[in-house]
Structure 1
Amino acid sequence: MELNNIQRVYLVGIGGIGMSGLARYFAHLGYIVCGYDKTPTDLTDALRNEGIQVVFDDSSELIPKSFRDNDEGTLIIYTPAIPKDSDILNFFQRKGFNLYKRSQVLGLISKSKFTIAVAGTHGKTTTSCMVAHILKDSGTDCSAFLGGIASNYQTNVLFGNNDIVVVEADEYDRSFLTLYPDTAIITSMDADHLDIYGDHSQLTESFQLFAGQIKSGGTLIHYKGLPLNGGVNYSIDGDADAMALNIRVENGDFYFDFKNSQTSIANIKLGIAGLHNIANAVAAIEATLRLGVDVELIKAALTSFKGVKRRFEYIVKNDRHIYIDDYAHHPEELRAAISSIKKLYPYKKLTAIFQPHLYTRTRDFADGFAEVLDIVDELIMLDIYPARELPIEGVDSVMILDKMKLTNKQLCGKQEAIALIKFEKPELLLSVGAGDIDTLVQPLKSILENV
């Protein structure tokens, strides 16, 4: 596939965070872009407002006429989350179109550019957004394909005037093996996606293969202790090639110092909260220093960084109530979010609403979820969000609750959870999960802002 020949792009699963970024990229270049997704969302509404046609009925009859003939001017991109019996997907297959995954297209786009790829089972979205923001804010510039909505820019794709591109490298379905970066950041390699990989060793091997695809003369930056050979390691615990030192909280803000073998930066104020985000910042600093970005400009960019939607995002923050929403859906992500909140607000009672994501992840990590959720003071548990999966016998949210020691816990539906928050009016609230728990954010915000 030669992207220079493309005139039209159809995306099957256009509403996904990564797919919508590609849709915006090709629309920005002036191509005809349209696509299908299962349900309307704020993101698909935004795409339609930007002039991109989106349909929600899986019918091949709705495919525009200009897309129905197989020629070299038409690019079809699909997400593996689309069911194999999709009528639209099968239409393109029957017609003999070459279908490309998002990751393959990212590989084609970044092939001739200086590519910074950020991978990891968690931390990759915030880190890639940090790197992109430092490059943008400092005037170095870049293009970027992000796995979340960057709050500084209110979008998941950025357009630059140079050949630097930042991409979030997704390990799901081994997608990141289509990338050959100049700089690769690997934030974490915890067991996840075992429905795809089978076991942790297969996931580890996949990350090692990704690290092996760095271009000759390129740089690997990885969190200290990961089973990777060579490269630059980083840490927030000291004793690393690049590290955060003197971490402290002052007036609700996180501060730290940075140090590597050549550079020291004192008194960095991070625009977002969380110990895990300091680790992400250390990786972003190391990557951008290697591109020659000025120390003071890096420091200023990190202070002005507003984070990513649904990544430790403050929804309400006033004298009476603190409400934070987070996308965490793995035990270690939950641990990072909860421990950061506890560090910020050690004397407040923490109420958490958690929605498990996927039956397989719940089955594989029930013990880990139970251990971490025991740290909160009150837990409101929602039913599992199945996403692409069918139910598994014996696997449900009660599986986690039964393993917990916490007594102040209960299973609720979403409307029950809203009613409970309205009654209790907690002073410190966390909603967390990767399913449709985000539909609770506005109702909960309204309750706590109007108390």
Structure 2
Amino acid sequence: IGPLAMVAQQAGYTVSGSDKQDSQYIDYLKKHGVTNIHIGQSSEALAKVHDTTPIDWYVYSSAVEKENADAPELVFVRNQDIKHSKRDELLNQIIQDKKLQMIAIAGTHGKTTTTALTVWLLSQLKTPLSYILPAKTSFAEMGHFDPASKLFIYECDEFDRNFLAYQPHLSLITGVSWDHHEIFPTREDYQEAFKEFISQSDRTILWQEDYDYLGMTSTSKLDVLESDHPTVEEVTLAGRYTRLDAWLVIQGVHELTKTPLKELVKIASDFPGLQRRMEQIVSNLYSDYAHTPEKIRGCMSVATEMASDKKQNVVVVYEPLTNRRQHYMADDYGDCFAGASKVYWIPSYLAREDPKQRIIPPSELITHLSDPSIAVAMERDGELKKTIQEHLDKGDMVVGMAGGGGDSLDEWLRKEFS
């Protein structure tokens, strides 16, 4: 929602906001012109803002309502009869007001990398562009509005069915496998949501595997790609799944700009990457956002290729994202860590949990691996730090995989090793 604040301000809106706690993202927003930010969320603080500059529209993240439907700020705007909504309604308003066409990236995994690749390719082609990026990169801000742009690049997340609020000009589907089980109780619910999203898009590019998984029917609105197309391997990025993401983007950008495929392959191969996607923290220590079996396989494909070049062992420290997910996907872990010499499995990062569900310990989750002998249950403590350091001293590649935010494994690794 922070990048949306940047886009709104650059598009001409007057923006203020709040967060429960200070963070590097608050500093980032302030450095980029969104300075009226209050730390702490109370009706009194919001009332002071409203008295100074009357609020026309209060936009809140999905987490606010889920954590507390009667959060003080929500109660205040209801009582004051102030328009309030989640981010999708404001973004749709900006797109409508500025006459933009949305290029949407949707899917269970690979969305953020694919969104960043789309911004990268179009930027390198000097295409005027507006976008929201959900991760930091070296080549683009997290939110940007260009008055000359006709396109808006956006990662359309299926969580809370948010992506169904949009009618994209072009949608790129990165891959589909059942997730967000608290929102989609059955696999069929999840599939139907994606089919509805695709039906709302003017054009969609997706993989044959997902076309089959969703039970789609061929129409002129669909472009179905084969994952074994030989040109995929002409992209020189590390990791099979990253190359597939790049090929998907290449097809989309080719459709938008008619730039020759060979030129786009060359540009895509120079993609510099993004934060928390095999991001190096110190020598041989990496952090990745992988937190589902599919994402883990994608990360392992990158890690094993990189390690092979240096003849290194790959060691994984894994922190699952949410306990509730584990109740649904434990059986899917299987061989997802194939290529790792060791996996240190720590307790799940807890967020928006169902209090009725028991907490599944790492030792039990490990039994769902095809080869449980490669994994050890550990805690995030001094002993883990010592173990990681021993592997680094031996020259091993250590990859921390975690999807959480504040106080996650990612944050801990940066604090302990940077």
The verdict on a shared fold, with TM-score over 0.5 as the criterion, is yes
2:326 paired residue among 362, 373, 381: 362
Map of 2:144 onto structure 1: 158
Q: Structure 1, unaligned stretches of length 5 or more? A: 1-18, 248-255, 257-267, 447-451
2:227 paired residue among 221, 236, 240: 236
Shift of 1:60: 1.3
CA distance in 2, matches of 1:145, 1:424: 37
CA contact (8 A) 1:185 1:222 kept: yes
Shift of 1:377: 1.4
For residues 183-223 of structure 1, what are the alpha-carbon distances to aligned partners after superposition, in whole Å with 9 as ceiling and x for unaligned? 11111110100111101110110000000012xxx321002
Q: Does 1:62 align with 2:45?
A: yes
CA contact (8 A) 1:418 1:443 kept: no
Q: Does 1:29 align with 2:11?
A: yes
Q: What is the CA RMSD across the aligned residues, in angstroms?
A: 2.3
CA distance in 2, matches of 1:116, 1:407: 42
Give the letter aligned to residue 26 of structure 1. Answer: A
SS of corresponding position for 1:196: coil
For residues 387-414 of structure 1, what are the alpha-carbon distances to aligned partners after superposition, in whole Å with 9 as ceiling and x for unaligned? 2225532423333124342245131124
Map of 2:307 onto structure 1: 345
Q: Which moved more, 1:196-205 or 1:434-443?
A: 434-443
For residues 110 and 31 of structure 1, do their structure 2 counterparts lie closer, same or farther at Cα, with a shift above 3 Å needed?
closer
Q: Structure 2, unaligned stretches of length 5 or more? A: none
CA distance in 1, matches of 2:417, 2:227: 33
Map of 1:439 onto structure 2: 411
Shift of 1:232: 0.9
Map of 1:282 onto structure 2: 247
CA distance in 1, matches of 2:191, 2:415: 40
CA contact (8 A) 2:319 2:346 kept: yes
CA contact (8 A) 1:352 1:431 kept: yes
For residues 158 and 32 of structure 1, do their structure 2 counterparts lie closer, same or farther at Cα, with a shift above 3 Å needed?
closer
CA contact (8 A) 1:186 1:222 kept: yes
CA contact (8 A) 1:244 1:278 kept: no
2:27 paired residue among 45, 69, 83: 45
2:380 paired residue among 413, 422, 436: 413
Q: Does 1:20 align with 2:2?
A: yes
Q: Does 1:323 align with 2:285?
A: yes
CA contact (8 A) 2:132 2:153 kept: yes
CA contact (8 A) 1:140 1:293 kept: no
CA distance in 2, matches of 1:327, 1:64: 38
Greater fraction helix: 2
CA contact (8 A) 1:235 1:244 kept: no
For residues 422 and 366 of structure 1, do their structure 2 counterparts lie closer, same or farther at Cα, with a shift above 3 Å needed?
same
CA distance in 1, matches of 2:45, 2:373: 51
Map of 1:306 onto structure 2: 272
% same residue? 24
For residues 443 and 69 of structure 1, do their structure 2 counterparts lie closer, same or farther at Cα, with a shift above 3 Å needed?
closer
CA contact (8 A) 2:11 2:145 kept: no
Greater fraction strand: 1
CA contact (8 A) 2:17 2:38 kept: yes
For residues 157-184 of structure 1, what are the alpha-carbon distances to aligned partners after superposition, in whole Å with 9 as ceiling and x for unaligned? 1333221111111111111111111111
CA distance in 2, matches of 1:91, 1:280: 43
Map of 1:103 onto structure 2: 88
For residues 219-271 of structure 1, what are the alpha-carbon distances to aligned partners after superposition, in whole Å with 9 as ceiling and x for unaligned? 21002221233311223313xxxx634x2xxxxxxxx1xxxxxxxxxxx433x
What pairs with 1:365-404 in structure 2 (closer than 5 Å)? 365-369=329-333, 371-373=335-337, 375-391=339-355, 392-404=357-369
For residues 54 and 171 of structure 1, do their structure 2 counterparts lie closer, same or farther at Cα, with a shift above 3 Å needed?
same
For residues 297-343 of structure 1, what are the alpha-carbon distances to aligned partners after superposition, in whole Å with 9 as ceiling and x for unaligned? 52443133212211222334xxxx52221111111100111133223
Shift of 1:143: 0.7
For residues 354 and 68 of structure 1, do their structure 2 counterparts lie closer, same or farther at Cα, with a shift above 3 Å needed?
farther
CA distance in 2, matches of 1:229, 1:109: 33
CA distance in 1, matches of 2:142, 2:226: 27
For residues 437 and 54 of structure 1, do their structure 2 counterparts lie closer, same or farther at Cα, with a shift above 3 Å needed?
farther
CA contact (8 A) 1:116 1:184 kept: yes
SS of corresponding position for 1:387: coil
Give the letter aligned to residue 227 of structure 2. Answer: I
For residues 445 and 293 of structure 1, do their structure 2 counterparts lie closer, same or farther at Cα, with a shift above 3 Å needed?
farther
SS of corresponding position for 2:327: helix
SS of corresponding position for 1:133: helix
CA contact (8 A) 1:138 1:297 kept: no
For residues 134-173 of structure 1, what are the alpha-carbon distances to aligned partners after superposition, in whole Å with 9 as ceiling and x for unaligned? 11111122111222223322x2113332211111111111
CA contact (8 A) 2:208 2:227 kept: no
CA distance in 2, matches of 1:414, 1:183: 46
Give the letter aligned to residue 269 of structure 1. Answer: T
CA contact (8 A) 1:356 1:397 kept: no
Map of 2:298 onto structure 1: 336
Matched pairs, number: 393
Map of 1:204 onto structure 2: 191
2:204 paired residue among 208, 220, 224: 220
Give the letter aligned to residue 286 of structure 2. Answer: I
CA distance in 2, matches of 1:48, 1:124: 27
CA distance in 2, matches of 1:343, 1:423: 22
CA contact (8 A) 1:362 1:396 kept: no
Map of 2:130 onto structure 1: 143
SS of corresponding position for 1:291: helix
CA distance in 2, matches of 1:192, 1:389: 15
2:236 paired residue among 269, 278, 289: 269
CA contact (8 A) 2:391 2:398 kept: no
Map of 1:423 onto structure 2: 390
CA contact (8 A) 1:142 1:164 kept: yes
